[in-house]
Amino acid sequence: MLKRQWIDRKIYNRENLVRECNIWRNMGKKIVFTNGCFDILHHGHLDLLAKAADLGNVLIVALNTDASVQRLKGPERPITNENDRLFQVASLLVTSAVCLFDEDTPAELIEALRPDVLVKGGDYTIENIVGAEYVQKNGGTVEVIPFVDGYSTTGIIAKIKGL
């Protein structure tokens, strides 16, 4: 039971995560933020999260809700529901906190949490990362972590379907 509690303690609602970020900030912690669907957790996701965690003391991962994933990816997604995705990402040693967001972008959440480092995967450029301007304007940095070749949720789904 203790291990499950350790995982559950990493899952936050927005209000509690804002409060926790203020505590971490007052402790001098460097807060790193990333977001995504993280639908079928794979090597590429794990590589991104590990490298993001190396950029600070605290790693926050914001996950799109099921409704948000459907709006972004279509009616057949997500494959893994939001509660399972929360549990999976919270189970990782590199994550400090996990939360859901239902908006089409994490802009409001980024502004509420005020991370020191904003991280996205290799299909982005700093110019098209939501929240980049806000983070940089407030003294933070934005990092793009290159993809690991051969790993994508879309590719995994295609392989399963035999496409």
In the block, tokens 């994933």 appear at 69
**Tens of pLDDT, residue by residue, the chain (163 residues):** 557 899 999 999 999 999 999 999 999 999 999 999 999 899 999 999 999 999 999 999 999 999 999 999 999 999 999 999 999 999 999 999 999 999 999 999 999 999 999 999 988 899 999 999 999 999 999 999 998 877 677 777 777 788 6
Residue type at position 154: T
Residue type at position 15: E
> What's the pTM?
0.93
2-161 placed in CATH 3.90.1580.10: no
